[in-house]
Amino acid sequence: MIPSIGFIVFLVVAGFVILSSAIKILREYERGVVYTLGRFTGVRGPGLQILIPILQQMVKVDVRTLVHDVPPQDVISKDNVSVKVNAVIYYRVIDANRAINKVEDYMVATSQLAQTTLRSVLGKHDLDEMLASRDKLNADIQEILDTQTDAWGIKVSNVEIKHVDIDPQMVRAIARQAEAERERRAKIISAEGEQQAAAKLVEAAAMISKEPAAMQLRYLGALNEVAGNKTNTIIFPLPIDTIREVLKG
C-alpha cells in the first residue's frame, strides 16, 4: 500500500522537529544548561551539541558582560536632602548552572537588588559625599552587589552612578551655602595675614629698640625716600633722642 501524501508530509515534519530538537549550535558567548528528564546534567558549549530528543532540553545563557540601567531612585541622604539617583551596572554570568537553577530570572533579580542597594548605600551618606566621593560609593555598591549575586553565579564588575538630581530650591540653597563658606575662608585668610603682619611689626620694633643706631638708619632711609619726590613738602622731625632731652630739661 502506497502511503498518502499527507502521511509523508507528516513524517517529514516530525523528522524535522526531532532533528531540530536534537541538534543545537551554541555561539562562542553562549552556554547551554542541559536537563535530562528534568534533572540538571551539565553545562555545554560553545559549538555543535547533540541532545536526545524528547528526553533532553537545553536552556541557553549569554555569558557576555551585560549593561543594565538602574532606574532613577528616590534617595534621602543622611543630612535629609531628597535626591534622585540613577546608575548603570556591568555584570556577567560566570556559572550558568547557578544562574538558571538558583534564581528565577537572574536579570530581574540583579536589577531589583541593584535598586535596593543603591538606596541603602547612598542613604548612609551626606549630599556632599554623594557629589564629591562617587568613586568610593561606586566601589561600595559594586562590592555589596558582587557579594550578594555570587550565589546566583553572577559577577558584578562595575557600578557607575550617572546622575544625582537635586531639587532647584536645594541647588540655590547649596549655592548660598558655598558662597558663605568662601566668604568665611576669605575673612579667615585676611585675619591670619594681618596677624602675621602685626607679629612681624612687633618683632621689628623689638629689634630696633635694642639698637638705637638702627632707628637712626631707618629715619635717614625714610627721609631719602621722601626727598626723591620734589612735589612733596618735607618736614624734618626732631630725633627722638633730642625730644627726650628737651622733655627732661
pLDDT tens digits, residue range 173-227? Answer: 666 766 777 788 888 888 888 888 887 777 777 766 666 666 666 666 666 666 6
Helices 212-227 & 168-210, crossing angle to 10 degrees? 120
In this prediction, what percent of the chain has a pLDDT beyond 70?
71
CB 113 within 8 A of CB 145: yes
pLDDT single digits (tens) 12-47 = 666 666 666 788 889 999 999 999 999 999 999 899
**Domains of the chain by residue range:** 5-62, 66-171, 208-249
Report the greatest alpha carbon distance in the chain: 158
Rounded-to-integer distance, Cα 201 and Cα 221, Å: 17
Nearest-5° Cα angle at 246, 241 to 249: 125
Residues 6 or more apart whose CB falls under 8 angstroms from that of 95 comprise 153
The yes-or-no verdict on residue 5 having pLDDT over 80 is: no
Whose CA is closest to 120, among 75, 163, 187?
75
Rounded-to-integer distance, Cα 76 and Cα 176, Å: 21
Mean pLDDT of the chain: 81
CATH of domain 66-171: 3.30.479.30
CB 33 within 8 A of CB 58: yes
- Gyration radius from the chain CA atoms: 41
The 3-state DSSP class for residue 52 equals coil
Residues 6 or more apart whose CB falls under 8 angstroms from that of 63 comprise 29, 30, 31, 92, 93, 94, 96
CB 40 within 8 A of CB 29: no
CB 55 within 8 A of CB 35: no
Rounded-to-integer distance, Cα 112 and Cα 119, Å: 11
Tell me phi and psi for residue 86, to 5 degrees.
-125, 160
Q: How far does CA 212 lie from the centroid of its chain?
A: 65
* Global pTM value: 0.64
